[in-house]
């Protein structure tokens, strides 16, 4: 997988997905392995509310297809995924491939996955000051 091809698409229906953009035509983005991004609040041990990123399959539970064409007219925004998000995306995709038969919904909300996300973020070599 190529980190440079990972994009965040904000769609006109307010969904945000992270995916690999493999190409584009005049009217469509050609994407693969899209994961829906959900930001959910979580109470930490200190009683503070943190926001947690949850990545889950976008349409894969309804279709065995992994490649899609998204009309450009349905995209409000397209942006490059950060290094940390890209590495977490790859981790989730690998986990889904391993557990494809199960309801594979992953988030750093799970104790092991939260540690994995933090480790991936710390290992990311980047000059960016972005957290995600």
In 7-102, where does DSSP find H-type helix?
A: 83-98
For 88, other C-beta atoms within 10 Å of its C-beta total 27
Between CA 95 and CA 89 the distance in angstroms is: 10
Predicted confidence at residue 81, as pLDDT, reads 96
Over the stretch 94-104, which tens digit does the pLDDT of each residue have? 998 887 654 44
Question: Which residues are bridge partners to 8 per DSSP?
Answer: 18, 79
Of 9-18, 27-36, 64-73, minimum mean pLDDT range: 64-73
Looking at residue 100, its pLDDT comes to: 62
Q: Supply 121's token pair.
A: 């973020």
Q: What does the pLDDT look like over 40-92, one tens digit per residue?
A: 898 888 889 989 999 998 876 677 787 899 999 999 999 999 999 999 999 99
Count of beta carbons in the 10 Å neighbourhood of residue 8: 17
């Amino acid at each position: 997988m190529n980190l440079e091809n990972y994009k965040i698409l904000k769609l006109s229906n307010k969904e945000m997905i992270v995916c690999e953009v493999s190409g584009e035509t005049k009217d469509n983005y050609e994407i693969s392995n899209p994961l829906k991004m959900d930001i959910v609040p979580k109470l930490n041990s200190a009683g503070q509310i943190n926001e947690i990123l949850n990545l889950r399959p976008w349409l894969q539970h309804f279709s065995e297809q992994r490649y899609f064409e998204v009309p450009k007219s349905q995209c409000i925004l397209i942006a490059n995924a950060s290094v940390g998000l890209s590495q977490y995306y790859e981790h989730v995709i690998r986990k889904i491939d391993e557990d494809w038969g199960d309801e594979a919904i992953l988030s750093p909300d799970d104790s092991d996955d939260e540690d994995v996300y933090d480790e991936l973020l710390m290992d990311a070599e980047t000059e960016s000051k972005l957290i995600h």
